[in-house]
A and B are shown apart, each in its own frame.
Chain A
Amino acid sequence: MSLLRYDFVQNALVAGAIIAVVAGLVGRFVVARNLSFAVHGIAEVGFTGAAGAVLIGVEPVLGLMSGALLAALGIGTLGVRLRDRDVAIGSILAFGLGLGVLFLTLYTRYATEAFTILFGTITGVSRAEVFLLMGLGVVTLLALAVISRPLMFASVDPEVAEARGVPVRALSIAFLVILAIAVSEAVQVVGVLLVLTLLITPAASAQKLTARPALASLLSVLIAFGCTMGGILVSLVTPYPASFYVSALSFGSYLLARLIGPRLAASARRGADQAPATALRDGQPGLQVGQSPEKTSL
C-alpha cells in the first residue's frame, strides 16, 4: 500500500470514489427510465466536444462537458415521446461522431488525447481536476436529492405522476442535464466508450438483488465504488488499464447478481406466500374484499 503515498494515486482514488457515488445513484434512474442508449449518445457527443476543445486549444474536460450537455438537451427536446427518443439519440450520436472524426483529422497530433477520452486514464487526473470533479459531484447529488422523489414517481408511473401535477417533461430534461454531468465525470475513469459500465451495470446488478428502492440505491453505489476502487488499485500493480479492470469487475458483479438474485426473490416470495393471500381486514369497515356474496347483475 506504499502506492498511496503518490499524489497521482491519491488523486485517482479520490476522483474514482466521487465518480462511483455519482454514477451509482444516477444509474438507478438511468435504468428505471430506460436511458442506456441516451448515456451512450451523450458520451459520444461528449467525445466530439473534447476533440473540438483540443482542436481550439481549450481544456478537453470543458469540451467534453459542453458536448454532453448539448446532446442531453438535444435528446430532451427531440425525443419527447419514447418512440422518438431512440431515433433522436441515434441521429444525434451519429452526427456528433462524424464531427468528432473531422476534428481528429484536422488535428492529428493528439492521437493519444483521443485515446484518453475514449478509454479513460484515471491515473492522469490532476489535483485541480479532483476538485472540479468533487464540485460537480456535490452539485449533481444535491440536484438529484431535490428532485429524486418526483423523478422516481415520473419514472415509474408517468401517467399518475402527470395527473398529480408532477412536471414530468421538465423533470425529464433536468435529469438529462444531471446525466450529462455524471457522464462527463464517469468518462474520466473509464472513457467515453465504457461509461455504461459505471452508469448502468451497478444499478442493474443492484436491482437484481433487492426490491427495496433505498437498498437498491445503496447497493448500486457500493458496487460502483467497489468496481472503481478495485479496478484502479489492480491497474496500478499491473501493466493494464483501469478501464479494463473496472468493466471486468462491473460485469462480474452483474453476472453474480443475476445468479443469486432469483434465489433471493424466490425466498422472499416464499415468505410472502405463507401469509393469507386474501383475508378480511378490520379497521376500515366497508373496504373489505374477498368474502362478498356473489352479486346479481341487473
Chain B
Amino acid sequence: MIASDAIRIEGSTLRLAGRPIWQDLTLSVPESEFLAVIGPNGAGKTSLLKVLLGLLPAGGVVEVLGLPPRRGNRRIGYVPQQKAIDPDLPVRGRDLVRMGVDGDRWRFGGSPEAGRRVDEMLAAVGAAAFADASIGRLSGGEQQRLRIAQALVGEPRLLLCDEPLLSLDLHHQREIVELIRSWQERSGGTVVFVTHDVNPVLSMTDRVLAVVGGRWAAGRPDEILTSATMSDLYGAPVDVVQVRGRVVVLADTGDPIGGHHELPIEPAHSHTAQSRP
C-alpha cells in the first residue's frame, strides 16, 4: 500500500512564525492521482508544496515517492507561482527549459544531448515558436507552457503546480490543464495542483485537499465540495452549489469565495473530514 502512495502524510503539523498552518494533517495520494489543493490566500497551500520539496520542515510523517522529502529530488517537477520577469532579461524559453535539465550542475559548457531534450520538450508543449524570445516578453500563457516544459523535461514522477492558471484567460487555462492531463495520462505521474478555483481541473481531480485557517479536509471532490464540509471548514454558513457542472462556493453574503476573499476564521477547533483510503 505504502509503496503505491506518491505522497503519504500522517499526523503532520506545520507552524510558521507561531501561526498554525495545519494541524494533524493526514493525507495520502496514490500514484498517478490528481490532488487539487484549494483554500484562500495565505492558508498554507504553497507551504504544502514547500514541505513536499524539502524546503520547509514539518512535524509528523511526510513521505514523497516513498522517501522523506529532500531538496533537489529530481523525481519531482515544480511549477512555482508566476511572477513578473524583467522583459530585458536575456533568458529565452529554451534557456529556462534547459535549466530544468542541468541548471543545477556545476559544469561549464554545452551538451548536445541536453539541447536535443530541450527541443523535444519545447515541441511537445507547443512552445517551439516562441522559444527564442526573452521570457519576460511572453504572455502569461506562453510563460506557463515553458514552466511546465521546464518541470517535465527531467521526467519527474510527481508534478507540483502552484496556481499555474492564475491570471490566464479561459482559453489558456484550458490549454495548460490539457498539457498536464496529457502528461499524466502518458506517464502515469502524480499531480499536486494548488489552485483557488477548482473548476478548471474538476474533471480530472481524484482528490481534494481544502485548507482554511489552520483546518483542513481531504477526500473525493463529491465529499469535500459540499455545503456541509465547507461550512464546517470555514466555521460559517457556506453554500456549495453546482451551476452547469461548475462548483460555486458562496458565503452567506452571497459573494463567491475565491482567492481574493478571506473569511476571518480562527483556528479554534480542528474539524476534519478525512478520506477513506
B19 adjacent to chain A (CB < 8 Å): no
Inter-chain contact A286/B186, CB cutoff 8 Å: yes
Q: Quick check: which of A41-49, A69-77, A119-127, A202-210 contacts chain B, the rest being far away? A: A202-210
Tell me if A160 and B99 are in contact (CB < 8 A). Answer: yes
A211-B90, A287-B182, A289-B178 known; A166-B123 Cβ under 8 A: no
B-facing mask of A255-289, CB < 8 A → 1, else 0?
A: 00000000001001100110111110101111111
Binds B, one of A84-92, A105-113, A148-156: A148-156
Q: Report how far A50 CA is from B120 CA in the complex, Å.
A: 54
Stretch at the interface among B101-109, B209-217, B268-276: B101-109
A-B contact count (CB 8 A): 157
Nearest-neighbour CB distance to chain A for B68, whole angstroms, equals 15
Q: Measured between alpha carbons, how far is A292 from B134 in the docked complex, in Å? A: 28
With A212-B92, A295-B203: A283-B104 Cβ-Cβ less than 8 Å: no
Contact B245 A297 (CB under 8 A): yes
Q: Which segment of B10-18, B71-79, B229-237, B256-264 sits at the interface?
A: B71-79
User: Which B residues, 62 to 94, have Cβ-Cβ distances below 8 Å to chain A?
Assistant: 71-74, 76, 78, 80-81, 88-92
Q: How far is the CB of B32 from chain A (nearest CB, A)?
A: 13
Bound-state CA distance A281–B128 (Å) is 10
Q: Which residues of B contact A276 (CB under 8 A)?
A: 129
Q: Are A149 and B245 interface neighbours, CB within 8 A? A: no
Shortest beta-carbon distance from A268 to chain B in Å:
7
Contact with B along A135-151 (1 / 0, CB 8 A): 00000000001111110
Cβ-defined contact, A157 with B72, below 8 A: no
**B179 is an interface residue with CB less than 8 A from chain A:** yes
Checking B123, B137, B245 against A281 with a beta-carbon cut-off of 8 angstroms, the contacting residue is B123
Complex Cα distance, B99 from A115, in Å, reads 45
Chain B proximity of A39: nearest CB distance (Å) = 17
Which residue of chain B is the closest to A166 with respect to CB atoms? B104
Is residue B132 contacting chain A, with contact meaning CB distance below 8 A? yes
B125 contacts the other chain (Cβ, under 8 Å)?
yes
Bound: A207/B89 CA distance, A: 7
A7 on the B face (CB < 8 A): no
Determine whether the beta carbon of B124 is less than 8 Å from that of A283.
yes
Task: Evaluate whether A289 and B199 lie within 8 angstroms (CB atoms) in the complex, with A153-B104, A207-B88, A297-B246 already known.
Answer: no
CA distance A35 to B209 in the complex (A): 40
In the complex, chain B residues 118-150 whose Cβ is within 8 Å of any chain A Cβ: 120, 123-126, 128-130, 132-134, 137, 150
CA distance A145 to B221 in the complex (A): 50
Select which of B106, B174, B242, B246 is within 8 A of A146 by beta carbon: B106
* CB neighbours of A208 from chain B (8 A): 88
In the complex, which residues 158-201 of chain A have their Cβ closer than 8 Å to any Cβ of chain B? 159-166
A149 touches B203 (CB 8 A): no
- Tell whether, in the assembled complex, residue A287 and residue B104 are in contact, meaning their CB atoms are under 8 Å apart: no
* Minimum CB distance partner of A215 in chain B: B90
- Residue among B92, B103, B130, B182 with the most chain A CB within 10 A? B103
Interface bits B169-196 vs A (CB < 8 Å: 1, else 0): 0000011001100110110000000000
In whole angstroms, how far apart are the Cα atoms of A82 and B11 in the complex? 34
B33 contacts the other chain (CB 8 A)? no
Contacts of A216 in B (CB 8 A): 90
Do residues A211 and B221 form an inter-chain contact, with CB atoms below 8 A? Answer: no
Contact of B245 among A153, A285, A298 (CB under 8 A): A298
In whole angstroms, what is the CA distance A164 to B79 when docked? 12
Is the CB–CB distance between A157 and B99 below 8 Å? Answer: yes
With beta carbons under 8 angstroms apart, the residue of A149, A206, A296 that contacts B105 is A149
A213 at the interface (CB under 8 A from B): yes
Tell me the nearest residue of chain B to A278, going by C-beta. B126
A159 to B246, CA, bound (A): 32
Q: How far is the CA of A215 from the CA of B185 in the complex (A)?
A: 39
Known interface pairs A277-B129, A286-B185; A213-B120 also in contact (CB < 8 Å):
no
- What are 25 of the A-B contact pairs (CB < 8 Å)? A32-B89, A149-B106, A150-B103, A150-B104, A153-B104, A160-B151, A161-B99, A162-B71, A163-B53, A207-B89, A211-B91, A211-B132, A211-B134, A216-B90, A268-B132, A272-B129, A277-B130, A284-B120, A287-B125, A289-B125, A289-B178, A289-B179, A294-B174, A296-B203, A297-B203
A-B complex: 9 closest residue pairs judged by Cβ atoms: A165-B72, A286-B186, A153-B103, A216-B90, A159-B80, A297-B245, A275-B129, A211-B134, A284-B124
Q: A211-B92, A213-B95, A289-B182 are in contact. List 15 more A-B contacts (CB 8 A).
A: A146-B108, A149-B102, A160-B100, A164-B71, A207-B89, A208-B88, A272-B130, A278-B126, A283-B123, A283-B124, A286-B182, A287-B124, A289-B178, A295-B203, A297-B245
